[in-house]
Amino acid sequence: MALAVAAARRLAQASLRECSRRRTGLLDVISSRAANHHTSVEVIFVYLRAENKVTVHFINRDGEKITVKASPGDSLLDVVINEDLDFDGFGACEGTLACSTCHLIFDEEVYKNLGPVTDEEMDMLDLAYGLTETSRLGCQICLTKSLEGLVARVPESVADIRQSKDGAA
């Protein structure tokens, strides 16, 4: 079991790119070690996923801080959906970069670590309510371990073209 857990820890510490390249070989190693030690591969991967989480703090429209754990590689939109967070209207296009309802605002230091903004994302951000210099779309932010403790603020309102001018859906 110790060898299988050690292999799982090594996999957790590898970057996402390395994981995809080495996944097949490590799965073979983990499977064989798990078989030798009467441990299921599923148990090892549950352990691996639990150990390889990133803490994310959302500040909702009421100013309440909501803290969740998420997996590296998930987008912030995935996190909101997977954790069933109740942010009204959030992610209307389901991450297809066709709206700005997953608009989030970050502190400047965090914003600098989020990676470049694409032209397509910038076009959608132009439609966002309450746009700031540190605004990004949650569907375009993929979590990495370096974003541990990230704070994302949900704007006070959302621009959703599905709503009529009087606010009715």
Residue 110 belongs to a domain = yes
The CATH number of the domain holding residue 114 is 3.10.20.30
Q: b or e along 15-24 (b: 16 or more beta carbons within 10 Å of the residue's beta carbon)?
A: eeeebeeeee
Q: Is 153 helix (H, G, I), strand (E, B) or coil?
A: strand
Residue 80 belongs to a domain = yes
This prediction's pTM: 0.66
Q: Tally Cβ neighbours within 10 Å of residue 109.
A: 9
Number of folded domains in the chain?
1
pLDDT digits (tens, 9 = 90+) for 105-144: 999 999 999 999 999 999 999 999 899 999 999 999 999 9
Residue 1 belongs to a domain = no
Expressed as residue numbers, the domain containing 90 is 53-153
* Residues in the chain with pLDDT values less than 70: 1-51, 158-169
